[in-house]
């Protein structure tokens, strides 16, 4: 397996683990592979969050404002990886249900990573809502 293939596999594992953590509302795992100075562009306010504390607050706000997702499925994940910088993009199907306000969202995801101290780390994440 070449280095490029290994990098892509490592990044896929990180992003898949992140999606599983969101489904489980496991904040430690959601944050695990993100840099301390992560920059997030998000759908709900604030649309820009900088730093790991602000990133966590964004997820806490999301989970307080919507019921636990019953679906948070990642598809069409494409990864482009060099030796120390990579980006990935894909689609997320997010469905929440609370009995009164079910929501079915299509979300575009872009993730930028850097290899820091030999480990892939998410340094930028961008979510945008697509018409469903």
Residue 50, domain CATH: 3.10.450.50
| Containing structural domain, residue 87 | 3-130
What CA–CA distance (Å, rounded) separates 17 from 19? 5
Please give the C-alpha separations between residue 122 and each of 47, 52, 67, 68, in angstroms, as whole numbers. 18, 11, 26, 24
Q: What is the pLDDT of residues 22-66, one digit of tens each?
A: 888 888 999 999 999 999 999 878 889 999 999 999 988 888 876
Q: Which two tokens stand for residue 93?
A: 């199907």
Give the chain's domain count.
Answer: 1
Our separate counts of H helices and E strands in the chain read 3, 6
Q: Which are the contacts of 47, defined by CB distance < 8 A and separation ≥ 6?
A: 41
Query: Does the predicted TM-score (pTM) go above 0.95?
Result: no
């Amino acid at each position: 397996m070449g280095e490029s293939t290994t990098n892509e596999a490592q990044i896929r594992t990180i992003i898949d683990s992140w999606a599983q953590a969101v489904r489980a509302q496991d904040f430690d795992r959601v944050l695990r592979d993100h840099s301390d100075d992560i920059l997030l562009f998000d759908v709900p306010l604030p649309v820009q969050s900088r730093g790991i504390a602000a990133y966590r607050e964004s997820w806490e706000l999301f989970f307080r404002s919507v019921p636990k997702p019953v679906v948070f499925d990642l598809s069409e994940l494409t990864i482009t990886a060099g030796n120390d910088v990579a980006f990935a993009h894909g689609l997320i199907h997010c469905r929440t249900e609370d009995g009164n306000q079910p929501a079915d969202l299509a979300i575009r995801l872009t993730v930028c990573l850097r290899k820091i101290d030999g480990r892939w780390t998410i340094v930028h994440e961008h979510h945008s809502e697509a018409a469903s």
